[in-house]
Homo-oligomer: A and B are copies of this chain.
Amino acid sequence: MATDQVLPTSPIQASSVDYWDFEANVIVIGCGGAGACAALSAHDAGASVMIFELASDIGGSTALSSAEVYLGAGTRVQKATGHKDTKQGMTEFLTAAAGPQADAEKIEAYVEGSTDHFDWLVTQGVPFKDSEYPHRAIMALTDDCLLYTGGENAYPYNTLASPAPRGHNLQVTGDNGGPLLMKTLGARLNERSIPIHLNSRALALIVDDIDQQQVVVGVKVRIDMQERYVKALFGVILATGGFVMNQKMVEHYAPELTKCTVPIGNPGDTGAGILMGMGVGGQAINMHEGFVSLPFYPPASLTYGLFINSQGQRFVNEDSYHGRVGSLILRQPGERVYLILGVEDYGNYETESYLNADVVATADSVLELESDLNLPQGQLQSTIRDYNKSVELGVDYAFHKDARWLKAIEPPYVALDVTPGRGAFFPYFTLGGLDTLPSGEVLKANGEAVCGLYAIGRTACGIPRRGEGYASGMSVGDATFSGRQAGLAAANRMMIERNANG
Protein backbone atom coordinates (compact mmCIF):
# COMPACT_ATOMS: atom_id res chain seq x y z
CA MET A 1 0.00 0.00 0.00
CA ALA A 2 1.24 3.42 -0.90
CA THR A 3 1.20 5.68 2.13
CA ASP A 4 -0.97 8.17 0.31
CA GLN A 5 -4.09 6.04 -0.01
CA VAL A 6 -7.20 7.78 1.24
CA LEU A 7 -10.02 5.68 -0.16
CA PRO A 8 -11.30 2.57 1.59
CA THR A 9 -9.74 -0.71 0.56
CA SER A 10 -12.26 -2.90 -1.18
CA PRO A 11 -12.43 -6.46 0.14
CA ILE A 12 -12.07 -9.51 -2.07
CA GLN A 13 -14.59 -12.31 -2.26
CA ALA A 14 -13.84 -15.68 -0.70
CA SER A 15 -15.22 -17.30 -3.85
CA SER A 16 -12.24 -15.91 -5.75
CA VAL A 17 -9.72 -17.56 -3.41
CA ASP A 18 -8.43 -20.83 -4.87
CA TYR A 19 -6.18 -21.87 -2.05
CA TRP A 20 -5.78 -20.86 1.60
CA ASP A 21 -2.11 -20.61 2.51
CA PHE A 22 -2.71 -20.22 6.24
CA GLU A 23 -5.54 -20.76 8.63
CA ALA A 24 -6.23 -20.06 12.29
CA ASN A 25 -9.19 -19.39 14.53
CA VAL A 26 -8.15 -15.81 14.99
CA ILE A 27 -5.93 -13.72 12.72
CA VAL A 28 -4.26 -10.62 14.17
CA ILE A 29 -2.94 -7.95 11.80
CA GLY A 30 -0.19 -5.92 13.43
CA CYS A 31 1.87 -6.70 16.49
CA GLY A 32 2.22 -3.59 18.60
CA GLY A 33 0.80 -3.45 22.10
CA ALA A 34 -2.76 -3.96 20.91
CA GLY A 35 -2.09 -6.87 18.58
CA ALA A 36 0.16 -8.68 21.06
CA CYS A 37 -2.45 -8.51 23.83
CA ALA A 38 -5.19 -9.61 21.46
CA ALA A 39 -3.16 -12.62 20.40
CA LEU A 40 -2.31 -13.61 23.97
CA SER A 41 -5.92 -13.30 25.11
CA ALA A 42 -7.40 -15.17 22.18
CA HIS A 43 -4.84 -17.93 22.65
CA ASP A 44 -5.38 -18.20 26.38
CA ALA A 45 -9.13 -18.45 25.76
CA GLY A 46 -8.57 -21.51 23.59
CA ALA A 47 -8.25 -20.16 20.07
CA SER A 48 -5.47 -20.85 17.62
CA VAL A 49 -3.93 -17.53 16.64
CA MET A 50 -1.66 -16.26 13.90
CA ILE A 51 -0.10 -12.80 13.67
CA PHE A 52 0.94 -10.91 10.54
CA GLU A 53 3.20 -7.93 11.11
CA LEU A 54 4.33 -5.46 8.47
CA ALA A 55 7.70 -4.66 10.02
CA SER A 56 10.74 -6.85 10.50
CA ASP A 57 10.09 -7.15 14.18
CA ILE A 58 7.16 -6.87 16.53
CA GLY A 59 6.67 -3.70 18.57
CA GLY A 60 4.73 -1.19 16.53
CA SER A 61 4.36 2.30 17.89
CA THR A 62 4.09 0.93 21.42
CA ALA A 63 7.76 -0.06 21.28
CA LEU A 64 8.66 3.48 20.25
CA SER A 65 6.65 5.03 23.06
CA SER A 66 7.35 5.56 26.74
CA ALA A 67 4.63 2.97 27.34
CA GLU A 68 3.16 4.55 30.37
CA VAL A 69 -0.10 2.77 31.02
CA TYR A 70 -3.05 4.90 32.11
CA LEU A 71 -4.81 2.89 34.82
CA GLY A 72 -6.58 3.63 38.06
CA ALA A 73 -9.52 2.99 40.34
CA GLY A 74 -7.13 1.54 42.91
CA THR A 75 -4.24 -0.29 41.26
CA ARG A 76 -1.64 -2.00 43.41
CA VAL A 77 0.78 0.89 42.92
CA GLN A 78 -1.84 3.54 43.69
CA LYS A 79 -2.60 1.76 46.95
CA ALA A 80 1.02 1.21 47.86
CA THR A 81 1.83 4.88 47.35
CA GLY A 82 -1.18 6.04 49.31
CA HIS A 83 -3.13 7.51 46.40
CA LYS A 84 -6.83 7.01 46.78
CA ASP A 85 -8.51 6.55 43.45
CA THR A 86 -12.06 5.50 42.76
CA LYS A 87 -14.04 4.26 39.80
CA GLN A 88 -16.08 7.42 40.04
CA GLY A 89 -13.05 9.70 39.99
CA MET A 90 -11.52 7.88 37.03
CA THR A 91 -14.83 7.84 35.15
CA GLU A 92 -15.33 11.54 35.72
CA PHE A 93 -11.84 12.35 34.52
CA LEU A 94 -12.04 10.18 31.40
CA THR A 95 -15.45 11.60 30.58
CA ALA A 96 -14.34 15.21 30.99
CA ALA A 97 -11.14 14.52 29.08
CA ALA A 98 -12.93 12.98 26.10
CA GLY A 99 -15.38 15.87 26.01
CA PRO A 100 -18.65 15.77 24.11
CA GLN A 101 -17.53 12.82 22.02
CA ALA A 102 -16.88 10.57 25.06
CA ASP A 103 -17.92 6.93 24.64
CA ALA A 104 -19.61 6.14 27.95
CA GLU A 105 -19.72 2.38 27.36
CA LYS A 106 -16.02 2.16 26.58
CA ILE A 107 -15.14 4.32 29.57
CA GLU A 108 -17.24 2.14 31.86
CA ALA A 109 -15.61 -1.04 30.59
CA TYR A 110 -12.14 0.50 30.92
CA VAL A 111 -12.68 1.75 34.46
CA GLU A 112 -14.33 -1.48 35.60
CA GLY A 113 -11.47 -3.51 34.13
CA SER A 114 -8.66 -1.18 35.13
CA THR A 115 -7.22 -2.88 38.21
CA ASP A 116 -7.64 -6.27 36.56
CA HIS A 117 -5.77 -5.02 33.50
CA PHE A 118 -2.92 -3.85 35.72
CA ASP A 119 -2.79 -7.29 37.35
CA TRP A 120 -2.91 -9.01 33.97
CA LEU A 121 0.05 -6.98 32.73
CA VAL A 122 1.95 -7.92 35.89
CA THR A 123 1.09 -11.57 35.30
CA GLN A 124 2.62 -11.26 31.83
CA GLY A 125 5.81 -10.09 33.51
CA VAL A 126 5.48 -6.36 33.02
CA PRO A 127 7.27 -4.82 36.01
CA PHE A 128 5.89 -1.89 37.98
CA LYS A 129 7.61 -0.61 41.11
CA ASP A 130 5.44 0.42 44.07
CA SER A 131 6.67 3.97 43.95
CA GLU A 132 5.87 7.32 42.52
CA TYR A 133 7.69 9.91 40.46
CA PRO A 134 6.63 13.16 42.08
CA HIS A 135 7.85 15.55 39.38
CA ARG A 136 6.21 17.53 36.63
CA ALA A 137 7.41 15.49 33.70
CA ILE A 138 6.22 13.93 30.48
CA MET A 139 7.64 10.61 31.55
CA ALA A 140 9.53 9.12 34.49
CA LEU A 141 13.20 8.74 33.64
CA THR A 142 13.83 6.70 36.79
CA ASP A 143 12.35 3.26 37.36
CA ASP A 144 9.63 4.79 39.53
CA CYS A 145 6.05 4.16 38.58
CA LEU A 146 3.23 6.53 39.29
CA LEU A 147 2.90 10.07 37.94
CA TYR A 148 0.26 12.57 36.92
CA THR A 149 0.18 12.44 33.14
CA GLY A 150 -2.99 14.27 32.14
CA GLY A 151 -3.17 17.37 34.28
CA GLU A 152 -5.60 15.65 36.64
CA ASN A 153 -4.26 17.89 39.39
CA ALA A 154 -4.51 21.09 37.35
CA TYR A 155 -7.35 23.28 36.20
CA PRO A 156 -9.91 22.49 34.81
CA TYR A 157 -9.72 18.77 35.58
CA ASN A 158 -9.10 19.27 39.29
CA THR A 159 -12.51 20.94 39.47
CA LEU A 160 -14.26 18.23 37.45
CA ALA A 161 -12.90 15.03 38.98
CA SER A 162 -11.12 13.99 42.14
CA PRO A 163 -7.46 13.95 41.01
CA ALA A 164 -5.24 10.89 41.20
CA PRO A 165 -2.03 10.01 39.36
CA ARG A 166 -2.76 7.22 36.88
CA GLY A 167 0.26 7.12 34.59
CA HIS A 168 2.03 3.83 35.34
CA ASN A 169 5.64 3.91 34.20
CA LEU A 170 7.39 0.56 33.83
CA GLN A 171 10.17 -0.35 36.23
CA VAL A 172 13.02 0.57 33.95
CA THR A 173 15.44 3.47 33.94
CA GLY A 174 15.34 6.02 31.14
CA ASP A 175 12.73 6.34 28.43
CA ASN A 176 12.71 2.60 27.86
CA GLY A 177 9.19 1.54 28.80
CA GLY A 178 8.08 0.78 25.26
CA PRO A 179 10.91 -1.58 24.36
CA LEU A 180 10.57 -3.39 27.70
CA LEU A 181 6.80 -3.76 27.37
CA MET A 182 7.02 -5.20 23.88
CA LYS A 183 9.97 -7.42 24.78
CA THR A 184 7.92 -8.82 27.66
CA LEU A 185 4.78 -9.35 25.60
CA GLY A 186 6.90 -10.82 22.80
CA ALA A 187 8.37 -13.36 25.20
CA ARG A 188 4.88 -14.44 26.23
CA LEU A 189 3.89 -14.82 22.57
CA ASN A 190 6.96 -16.99 22.01
CA GLU A 191 6.28 -19.16 25.05
CA ARG A 192 2.85 -19.89 23.61
CA SER A 193 4.36 -20.59 20.20
CA ILE A 194 1.97 -18.18 18.58
CA PRO A 195 3.15 -17.91 14.97
CA ILE A 196 4.25 -14.43 13.98
CA HIS A 197 4.80 -13.73 10.30
CA LEU A 198 7.05 -10.70 9.98
CA ASN A 199 7.54 -8.57 6.86
CA SER A 200 3.94 -9.38 6.00
CA ARG A 201 1.75 -6.70 4.52
CA ALA A 202 -2.02 -7.06 4.81
CA LEU A 203 -3.47 -6.09 1.43
CA ALA A 204 -7.22 -6.65 1.74
CA LEU A 205 -9.86 -8.32 3.83
CA ILE A 206 -11.58 -11.38 2.41
CA VAL A 207 -15.36 -11.59 2.81
CA ASP A 208 -17.95 -14.25 2.22
CA ASP A 209 -21.73 -14.21 2.11
CA ILE A 210 -22.95 -16.52 4.84
CA ASP A 211 -26.70 -16.70 5.52
CA GLN A 212 -27.15 -13.55 3.42
CA GLN A 213 -24.73 -11.66 5.62
CA GLN A 214 -21.28 -10.36 4.72
CA VAL A 215 -18.74 -12.02 7.01
CA VAL A 216 -15.02 -11.27 7.19
CA VAL A 217 -13.34 -14.65 6.74
CA GLY A 218 -9.73 -13.80 6.09
CA VAL A 219 -6.99 -11.52 4.84
CA LYS A 220 -4.86 -11.37 1.75
CA VAL A 221 -1.25 -10.64 2.71
CA ARG A 222 1.98 -10.19 0.83
CA ILE A 223 5.03 -12.02 2.19
CA ASP A 224 8.32 -12.09 0.29
CA MET A 225 6.69 -10.65 -2.82
CA GLN A 226 4.13 -13.47 -2.80
CA GLU A 227 0.44 -12.96 -2.25
CA ARG A 228 -0.91 -15.29 0.41
CA TYR A 229 -4.43 -16.03 1.47
CA VAL A 230 -5.09 -16.34 5.19
CA LYS A 231 -8.28 -17.88 6.51
CA ALA A 232 -9.70 -16.63 9.81
CA LEU A 233 -12.26 -19.08 11.15
CA PHE A 234 -13.59 -16.79 13.87
CA GLY A 235 -12.26 -13.33 13.39
CA VAL A 236 -9.76 -10.89 11.96
CA ILE A 237 -8.42 -8.37 14.46
CA LEU A 238 -7.07 -5.16 12.94
CA ALA A 239 -4.26 -3.72 15.04
CA THR A 240 -2.36 -1.72 12.47
CA GLY A 241 -2.20 1.60 14.32
CA GLY A 242 -3.55 4.98 13.29
CA PHE A 243 -2.90 7.02 10.14
CA VAL A 244 -0.45 9.68 11.22
CA MET A 245 2.15 8.50 8.66
CA ASN A 246 -0.31 8.89 5.79
CA GLN A 247 0.04 12.55 4.88
CA LYS A 248 -2.83 12.54 2.40
CA MET A 249 -5.16 10.92 4.89
CA VAL A 250 -4.20 13.46 7.57
CA GLU A 251 -4.83 16.30 5.11
CA HIS A 252 -8.15 14.77 4.17
CA TYR A 253 -9.50 13.88 7.58
CA ALA A 254 -7.61 15.96 10.13
CA PRO A 255 -6.44 19.11 8.35
CA GLU A 256 -5.81 20.99 11.62
CA LEU A 257 -3.04 18.50 12.45
CA THR A 258 -1.03 19.50 9.42
CA LYS A 259 0.16 22.52 11.42
CA CYS A 260 2.12 20.16 13.67
CA THR A 261 5.64 19.12 12.89
CA VAL A 262 6.56 15.57 13.86
CA PRO A 263 4.23 12.61 13.36
CA ILE A 264 4.65 10.18 16.24
CA GLY A 265 4.48 6.51 15.44
CA ASN A 266 6.07 3.90 13.24
CA PRO A 267 6.16 3.99 9.43
CA GLY A 268 3.34 1.46 9.31
CA ASP A 269 0.83 3.91 10.78
CA THR A 270 -0.66 4.57 7.36
CA GLY A 271 -4.28 3.89 8.20
CA ALA A 272 -4.23 0.56 6.36
CA GLY A 273 -6.47 -1.15 8.91
CA ILE A 274 -8.91 1.74 9.07
CA LEU A 275 -9.22 1.78 5.27
CA MET A 276 -9.72 -2.00 5.14
CA GLY A 277 -12.41 -1.73 7.79
CA MET A 278 -14.15 1.08 5.92
CA GLY A 279 -14.05 -1.05 2.79
CA VAL A 280 -16.33 -3.63 4.40
CA GLY A 281 -18.72 -0.99 5.74
CA GLY A 282 -17.07 -0.09 9.03
CA GLN A 283 -17.59 3.52 10.01
CA ALA A 284 -14.59 5.70 10.82
CA ILE A 285 -15.41 8.29 13.45
CA ASN A 286 -13.74 11.24 15.18
CA MET A 287 -11.29 11.37 12.30
CA HIS A 288 -10.54 15.08 12.72
CA GLU A 289 -9.05 14.63 16.19
CA GLY A 290 -5.49 14.05 17.23
CA PHE A 291 -3.08 14.17 20.10
CA VAL A 292 -1.00 17.33 19.80
CA SER A 293 1.75 18.24 22.20
CA LEU A 294 4.06 21.06 22.99
CA PRO A 295 6.51 19.26 25.27
CA PHE A 296 7.69 22.38 27.08
CA TYR A 297 8.75 20.57 30.23
CA PRO A 298 11.21 19.44 31.49
CA PRO A 299 12.67 21.65 32.75
CA ALA A 300 9.63 22.15 34.95
CA SER A 301 10.80 25.71 35.54
CA LEU A 302 9.31 26.69 32.17
CA THR A 303 5.94 26.23 33.84
CA TYR A 304 6.64 29.52 35.65
CA GLY A 305 6.44 31.23 32.27
CA LEU A 306 3.46 32.57 30.37
CA PHE A 307 2.09 31.43 27.03
CA ILE A 308 1.12 34.51 25.03
CA ASN A 309 -0.85 34.74 21.80
CA SER A 310 -0.65 37.42 19.11
CA GLN A 311 -2.92 39.64 21.18
CA GLY A 312 -0.42 39.56 24.04
CA GLN A 313 -2.91 37.53 26.08
CA ARG A 314 -2.52 34.42 28.17
CA PHE A 315 -4.89 31.61 27.15
CA VAL A 316 -4.10 28.64 29.38
CA ASN A 317 -2.96 27.78 32.88
CA GLU A 318 0.67 26.95 32.22
CA ASP A 319 0.65 24.03 34.68
CA SER A 320 -1.59 22.13 32.26
CA TYR A 321 -0.52 18.89 30.67
CA HIS A 322 1.61 19.49 27.56
CA GLY A 323 -1.09 17.99 25.34
CA ARG A 324 -3.72 20.45 26.51
CA VAL A 325 -1.28 23.31 25.95
CA GLY A 326 -0.47 22.04 22.45
CA SER A 327 -4.15 21.75 21.56
CA LEU A 328 -4.96 25.24 22.79
CA ILE A 329 -1.97 26.71 20.95
CA LEU A 330 -3.30 25.20 17.74
CA ARG A 331 -6.57 27.07 18.28
CA GLN A 332 -5.13 30.55 18.82
CA PRO A 333 -6.29 32.82 16.05
CA GLY A 334 -3.19 34.97 15.50
CA GLU A 335 0.08 34.38 13.76
CA ARG A 336 2.40 33.78 16.69
CA VAL A 337 2.48 32.13 20.09
CA TYR A 338 5.29 32.76 22.56
CA LEU A 339 6.45 31.37 25.87
CA ILE A 340 7.73 34.25 27.97
CA LEU A 341 9.98 33.72 30.96
CA GLY A 342 12.22 35.43 33.40
CA VAL A 343 15.74 34.38 32.44
CA GLU A 344 16.15 32.71 35.82
CA ASP A 345 13.51 30.14 34.87
CA TYR A 346 14.99 29.59 31.47
CA GLY A 347 17.45 27.59 33.53
CA ASN A 348 18.53 24.37 31.93
CA TYR A 349 16.31 24.80 28.90
CA GLU A 350 19.05 24.22 26.39
CA THR A 351 20.22 20.95 27.84
CA GLU A 352 17.05 19.51 29.36
CA SER A 353 14.31 20.49 26.94
CA TYR A 354 12.77 18.62 24.03
CA LEU A 355 11.12 21.80 22.84
CA ASN A 356 13.54 23.05 20.20
CA ALA A 357 11.90 26.47 20.20
CA ASP A 358 14.09 29.40 19.20
CA VAL A 359 14.76 32.30 21.51
CA VAL A 360 13.31 35.17 19.48
CA ALA A 361 13.78 37.98 21.95
CA THR A 362 15.56 38.90 25.13
CA ALA A 363 14.83 42.17 26.85
CA ASP A 364 15.34 44.10 30.04
CA SER A 365 11.88 45.64 30.03
CA VAL A 366 8.42 44.45 29.10
CA LEU A 367 8.07 47.46 26.82
CA GLU A 368 11.14 46.38 24.89
CA LEU A 369 9.94 42.78 24.78
CA GLU A 370 6.52 43.80 23.56
CA SER A 371 8.05 45.86 20.82
CA ASP A 372 10.57 43.17 19.81
CA LEU A 373 7.75 40.64 19.51
CA ASN A 374 5.51 43.04 17.57
CA LEU A 375 2.76 42.57 20.12
CA PRO A 376 -0.06 45.11 20.22
CA GLN A 377 0.98 48.13 22.22
CA GLY A 378 0.38 47.81 25.94
CA GLN A 379 -1.08 44.32 25.87
CA LEU A 380 1.91 42.40 27.14
CA GLN A 381 2.52 45.09 29.73
CA SER A 382 -1.01 44.61 31.03
CA THR A 383 -0.75 40.85 30.94
CA ILE A 384 2.49 40.69 32.90
CA ARG A 385 1.41 43.38 35.35
CA ASP A 386 -1.87 41.50 36.00
CA TYR A 387 -0.07 38.20 36.32
CA ASN A 388 2.48 39.54 38.75
CA LYS A 389 -0.41 40.91 40.81
CA SER A 390 -1.92 37.41 40.89
CA VAL A 391 1.40 36.12 42.11
CA GLU A 392 1.34 38.64 44.96
CA LEU A 393 -2.19 37.57 45.85
CA GLY A 394 -1.22 33.92 45.54
CA VAL A 395 -4.26 33.25 43.36
CA ASP A 396 -4.47 33.17 39.57
CA TYR A 397 -8.11 34.15 39.30
CA ALA A 398 -7.95 34.41 35.54
CA PHE A 399 -6.52 31.02 34.55
CA HIS A 400 -6.35 29.03 37.78
CA LYS A 401 -2.72 28.08 37.59
CA ASP A 402 -1.91 26.36 40.84
CA ALA A 403 -0.31 28.53 43.52
CA ARG A 404 2.86 26.43 43.59
CA TRP A 405 3.59 27.50 40.01
CA LEU A 406 2.96 31.19 40.60
CA LYS A 407 6.14 33.22 40.46
CA ALA A 408 6.58 36.79 39.29
CA ILE A 409 7.90 37.23 35.77
CA GLU A 410 11.00 39.34 36.35
CA PRO A 411 13.61 40.83 34.02
CA PRO A 412 15.68 40.03 32.13
CA TYR A 413 13.08 38.35 29.93
CA VAL A 414 13.34 35.63 27.34
CA ALA A 415 10.77 34.80 24.69
CA LEU A 416 10.61 31.45 22.93
CA ASP A 417 8.69 31.16 19.66
CA VAL A 418 6.29 28.25 20.06
CA THR A 419 4.21 28.99 16.96
CA PRO A 420 3.26 25.79 15.14
CA GLY A 421 5.41 25.43 12.04
CA ARG A 422 8.25 27.66 13.22
CA GLY A 423 10.66 25.16 14.63
CA ALA A 424 9.23 24.18 17.98
CA PHE A 425 8.62 20.48 18.46
CA PHE A 426 4.91 19.70 17.92
CA PRO A 427 4.54 15.93 17.93
CA TYR A 428 1.14 14.51 17.02
CA PHE A 429 -0.76 11.37 16.23
CA THR A 430 -4.30 10.56 15.21
CA LEU A 431 -7.24 9.75 17.50
CA GLY A 432 -9.88 8.85 14.92
CA GLY A 433 -10.54 5.31 13.82
CA LEU A 434 -13.12 2.63 13.31
CA ASP A 435 -16.19 2.80 15.49
CA THR A 436 -16.24 -0.27 17.71
CA LEU A 437 -18.04 -1.82 20.62
CA PRO A 438 -16.03 -2.26 23.84
CA SER A 439 -15.50 -5.82 22.55
CA GLY A 440 -13.68 -4.45 19.52
CA GLU A 441 -16.41 -5.45 17.07
CA VAL A 442 -16.38 -2.98 14.18
CA LEU A 443 -19.62 -1.07 13.70
CA LYS A 444 -21.26 0.12 10.52
CA ALA A 445 -23.05 3.46 10.36
CA ASN A 446 -26.34 1.67 11.00
CA GLY A 447 -25.09 0.38 14.34
CA GLU A 448 -24.74 -3.23 13.19
CA ALA A 449 -21.45 -5.04 13.71
CA VAL A 450 -19.39 -6.24 10.75
CA CYS A 451 -19.40 -9.97 11.41
CA GLY A 452 -15.92 -11.37 11.96
CA LEU A 453 -14.06 -8.07 12.20
CA TYR A 454 -12.46 -6.40 15.22
CA ALA A 455 -10.39 -3.24 15.53
CA ILE A 456 -8.23 -2.21 18.48
CA GLY A 457 -5.67 0.35 19.56
CA ARG A 458 -5.42 3.37 17.31
CA THR A 459 -7.10 1.51 14.43
CA ALA A 460 -10.27 1.99 16.47
CA CYS A 461 -11.66 5.10 18.07
CA GLY A 462 -11.10 4.24 21.71
CA ILE A 463 -10.85 5.92 25.09
CA PRO A 464 -8.77 8.97 24.08
CA ARG A 465 -10.90 11.17 21.83
CA ARG A 466 -9.30 14.59 21.66
CA GLY A 467 -6.00 16.33 22.09
CA GLU A 468 -7.33 18.76 24.65
CA GLY A 469 -8.05 15.90 27.06
CA TYR A 470 -5.28 13.46 26.30
CA ALA A 471 -3.18 11.96 29.08
CA SER A 472 0.09 10.09 28.58
CA GLY A 473 -0.57 6.38 28.91
CA MET A 474 -4.09 6.55 27.49
CA SER A 475 -3.06 5.18 24.15
CA VAL A 476 -0.99 2.25 25.43
CA GLY A 477 -3.59 1.62 28.14
CA ASP A 478 -6.42 1.61 25.63
CA ALA A 479 -4.44 -0.42 23.08
CA THR A 480 -3.49 -3.20 25.45
CA PHE A 481 -6.93 -3.25 27.09
CA SER A 482 -8.91 -3.17 23.84
CA GLY A 483 -6.59 -5.85 22.48
CA ARG A 484 -7.50 -8.18 25.30
CA GLN A 485 -11.21 -7.52 24.87
CA ALA A 486 -11.10 -8.27 21.15
CA GLY A 487 -9.02 -11.42 21.64
CA LEU A 488 -11.56 -12.66 24.17
CA ALA A 489 -14.53 -11.68 22.00
CA ALA A 490 -13.19 -13.56 18.96
CA ALA A 491 -12.42 -16.65 21.06
CA ASN A 492 -15.86 -16.37 22.62
CA ARG A 493 -17.45 -16.30 19.19
CA MET A 494 -15.61 -19.53 18.46
CA MET A 495 -17.00 -21.16 21.62
CA ILE A 496 -20.53 -20.07 20.86
CA GLU A 497 -20.43 -21.26 17.26
CA ARG A 498 -18.83 -24.58 18.24
CA ASN A 499 -21.47 -25.15 20.91
CA ALA A 500 -24.22 -24.24 18.47
CA ASN A 501 -22.80 -26.76 16.00
CA GLY A 502 -22.61 -29.40 18.49
Contacts and interface: CB of A to CB of B under 8 A. Distances in A.
Interface of A: 7-8, 10, 100-101, 156, 255-256, 258, 278-279, 284, 288, 311-314, 331, 333, 376-379, 382-383, 385-386, 389-390, 393, 396-399, 445-447
A95 to B, nearest CB: 13
Contacts of A447: 7
Given A100-B255, A278-B445, A382 B386 contact: yes
Contacts of A397: 376-377, 379
A350 to B, nearest CB: 32
Contacts of A258: 100
Contacts of A445: 7-8, 278, 284
> Lowest 4 CB-CB distances: which A-B pairs, in order?
A100-B255, A376-B397, A382-B382, A376-B398
A78 B7 CA distance: 42
Nearest to A385: B382
B7 A446 contact: yes
Contacts of A288: 288
Contacts of A10: 446
A255 B101 CA distance: 7
Most chain B CB atoms below 10 A, which of A7, A100, A314, A445: A445
A10 B444 CA distance: 12
A382 B378 CA distance: 9
Contacts of A377: 389-390, 393, 397
A156 to B, nearest CB: 8
A306 B273 CA distance: 49
A255 to B, nearest CB: 3
A182 B105 CA distance: 46
Given A311-B314, A331-B331, 10 more contacts: A100-B256, A101-B255, A156-B333, A279-B446, A312-B398, A313-B398, A377-B390, A377-B397, A378-B389, A379-B386
A446 B11 CA distance: 12
Contacts of A382: 382-383, 385-386
Nearest to A379: B398
Nearest to A102: B255
Nearest to A393: B377
14 contacts: A7-B446, A10-B446, A100-B256, A278-B445, A311-B314, A311-B399, A313-B313, A313-B398, A376-B396, A377-B393, A378-B386, A378-B389, A379-B386, A382-B385
A390 B382 CA distance: 13
Contacts of A311: 314, 398-399
A11 B258 CA distance: 38
Most chain B CB atoms below 10 A, which of A255, A279, A284, A311: A311
Nearest to A281: B281
A313 B7 CA distance: 44
Most chain B CB atoms below 10 A, which of A313, A382, A398: A398
Contacts of A156: 333
Contacts of A331: 331
Nearest to A289: B288
Contacts of A278: 445-446
